[in-house]
């Protein structure tokens, strides 16, 4: 049997020293573990924060001093995409179709443009103390996104009648008679069917009692028809409404509120809500306000004018699929400038190279223009500073992605013609908005959409 050797007994001091040594080791281990844990948690947190920033907060654009976060762009894109799918009856998974995929790519630019318009106009409205009220925004919201169940009878003038005044009068009289009968008994479905079958020239609805189904501002009706249907109350029948197609007798049968529409249900499924729609309607309301203001601005006459010629080159937005087209367009600009610098006639260069189909065959001749008929203030300042015979700088047209070069043919102070006044009024808002974009230094930053 092995002899058992007794272990020496430790003194009190030795036991205390060993205990302290073990405690120090435990503390070191605990400290190292804690540091490692904090590092790992910090790394995970940093990755999550970085991912959140990239997906939500990285700037999608800048308007003045304000950066518009990517989150806002993503929500606007989701809105545009959802509306597109509803409008064309597309099902989830349709993105695999090349045509749909191409359209969706275009919607990204539409979403960014819509976002920039809304923020630019709000920046101006704040400075003008003209921010729309919540009540006005809600009124616009109901107009933009509610749906109406509508039916109508269209009476077009007889195209075979040589006397156009008589044809118009006959169509109006027939429409007035139909409106009188329907106003007396607006809920009579059989009467609607009989009158539509007998009098309506809308071949798409005459056999359905004129029923257009559920419609909205997205349905693309002419302005006269759209204004009339929204002016009616549910069940009400209109007087004859004249449009380019003839005379319409319209009934607004019933209304779907914004939150009861298929569009809103789809938007909710995409994570959007009424606040997103209010932003769109606020932008539409501001566009209307500033469009009216620009169109109604007084037009001085006479005023300084320039007789211009132009050369326009279309520059596609560079993408991975069209880099060759982009390079070709850039080379075309270089060739045009080389030809002009070598003394070739501007008109001949325009005929050979310009992509302005309106002026190309006439050597780029645009006629006489006022400042208000030019695309933006920078271009107007440039061409009005040039003497007759001189060429402008090369300019980019942000709205179309084109590059343009002008030549001043003549300069004079001239009366503004009625045709010029109409063109000035029609383009007044676009010119004003382009100036605001330049003044506020609006810069798109979404990858792939940085170019105009």
| 121 located within any domain | yes
Residue 50, in any domain of the structure: no
Rounded CA-CA distance 103/88 in Å is 12
Cα–Cα dist 272/282, whole Å: 16
CATH number of the domain enclosing 266: 1.10.4030
Residue 309 φ/ψ, nearest 5 degrees: -125, 150
Do 307 and 405 sit in the same domain of this protein? yes
pTM (2 d.p.): 0.75
Instruction: Based on the fold, state whether residues 178 and 84 are members of the same structural domain.
Output: no
Q: What is the DSSP letter of 237?
A: B
Question: Does 191 share its domain with 277?
Answer: no
Contact 247, 155 (CB under 8 A): yes
In the listed set 256, 290, 314, which residue is the last one of a domain according to the structure? 256
Specify whether 268 is located in the same domain as 313. Answer: no
Q: How far apart are CA 95 and CA 101, in angstroms?
A: 5
- 176 and 266 in a common domain: no
Measured N-to-C along each axis, helices 98-128 and 70-87 cross at an angle, to the nearest 10 degrees, of: 130
Residues 319 and 289 in one domain: no
- Summarised one tens digit per residue, pLDDT across range 19-29 is 677 777 777 77
Q: Are 285 and 132 in contact, with CB atoms under 8 Å apart?
A: yes
Shared-domain flag, residues 129 and 202: no
- What does the pLDDT look like over 373-404, one tens digit per residue? 998 888 999 999 999 999 999 998 765 568 99
Do 225 and 93 have their domain in common? no
Q: Quick check: helix, strand or coil at residue 48?
A: helix
The answer to whether residue 247 is domain-embedded is yes
In a domain, 23, yes or no: no
CB neighbourhood size of 426 (10 A): 11
Beta strands in 184-245 (DSSP E): 211-215, 241-243
β-sheet with 402-414: strand ranges across: 365-369, 303-314, 402-414, 391-397
Strand ranges (DSSP E) for 296-369? Answer: 303-314, 365-369
Which parts of the chain have pLDDT scores under 70? 1-15, 18-19, 42-57, 318-322, 398-401, 450-452
pLDDT confidence of residue 3: 60
**410 and 308 in one domain?**
yes
Element (H, E) at 47: helix 12-52
Report yes or no on 406 lying in a domain: yes
250 and 152 share one domain:
yes
Domain range for 332 is 303-415
What confidence score (pLDDT) does residue 320 get?
63
Sheet architecture: strand order including 59-63:
66-69, 59-63, 443-444
**What's the CATH code of the domain at 385?**
3.10.50.40
Residue 125 confidence (pLDDT)? 96
The answer to the question of residue 12 being in a domain is no
Residue 9 lies in a domain: no
45 belongs to a structural domain: no
pLDDT at 86: 87
Burial of 130 (0-12, 13-18, 19+ CB in 10 A): middle
Q: Are residues 166 and 126 in the same domain?
A: no
Could you give the number of structural domains in the chain?
3
| Structural Rg of the chain based on CA atoms | 34
């Amino acid at each position: 049997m092995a002899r058992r050797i007794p272990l020496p007994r430790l003194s009190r001091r030795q036991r205390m020293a060993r205990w302290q040594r073990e405690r120090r080791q435990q503390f070191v281990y605990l400290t190292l573990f804690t540091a490692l844990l904090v590092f790992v948690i910090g790394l995970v947190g940093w990755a999550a924060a970085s991912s959140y920033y990239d997906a939500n907060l990285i700037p999608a654009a800048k308007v003045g001093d304000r950066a518009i976060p990517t989150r806002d762009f993503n929500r606007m894109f989701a809105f545009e995409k959802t509306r597109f799918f509803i409008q064309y009856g597309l099902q989830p998974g349709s993105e695999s179709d090349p045509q749909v995929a191409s359209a969706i790519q275009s919607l990204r630019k539409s979403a960014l443009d819509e976002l920039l318009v809304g923020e630019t106009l709000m920046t101006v409205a704040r400075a003008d103390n003209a921010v729309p009220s919540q009540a006005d925004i809600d009124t616009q919201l109901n107009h933009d996104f509610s749906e109406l169940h509508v039916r109508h009878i269209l009476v077009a003038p007889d195209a075979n009648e040589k006397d156009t005044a008589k044809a118009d009068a006959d169509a109006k009289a027939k429409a007035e008679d139909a409106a009188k009968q329907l106003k007396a008994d607006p809920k009579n479905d059989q009467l609607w069917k009989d009158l539509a079958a007998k009098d309506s020239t809308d071949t798409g609805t005459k056999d359905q009692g004129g029923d257009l189904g559920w419609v909205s501002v997205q349905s693309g009706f002419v302005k006269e028809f759209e204004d009339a249907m929204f002016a009616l109350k549910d069940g009400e029948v209109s007087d004859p409404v004249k449009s380019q197609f003839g005379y319409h007798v319209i009934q607004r049968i019933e209304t779907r509120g914004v939150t009861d529409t298929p569009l809103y249900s789809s938007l909710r499924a995409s994570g959007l809500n009424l606040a997103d729609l209010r932003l769109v309607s606020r932008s539409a309301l501001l566009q209307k306000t500033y469009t009216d203001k620009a169109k109604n601005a007084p037009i001085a006459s006479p005023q300084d004018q320039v007789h211009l010629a132009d050369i326009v080159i279309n520059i596609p937005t560079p993408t991975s699929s069209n880099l060759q087209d982009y390079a070709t367009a850039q080379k075309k600009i270089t060739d045009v400038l080389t030809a002009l610098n070598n003394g070739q006639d501007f008109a001949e260069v325009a005929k050979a190279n310009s992509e302005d189909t309106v002026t190309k065959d006439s050597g780029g001749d645009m006629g006489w223009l006022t400042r208000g008929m030019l695309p933006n203030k920078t271009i107007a300042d440039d061409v009005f500073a040039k003497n007759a015979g001189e060429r402008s700088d090369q300019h980019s047209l942000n709205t179309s992605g084109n590059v343009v070069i002008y030549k001043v043919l003549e300069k004079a102070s001239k009366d503004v013609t009625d045709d010029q006044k109409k063109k000035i009024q029609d383009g007044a808002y676009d010119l004003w908005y382009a100036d605001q974009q330049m003044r506020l230094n609006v810069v798109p930053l979404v990858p792939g959409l940085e170019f105009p």
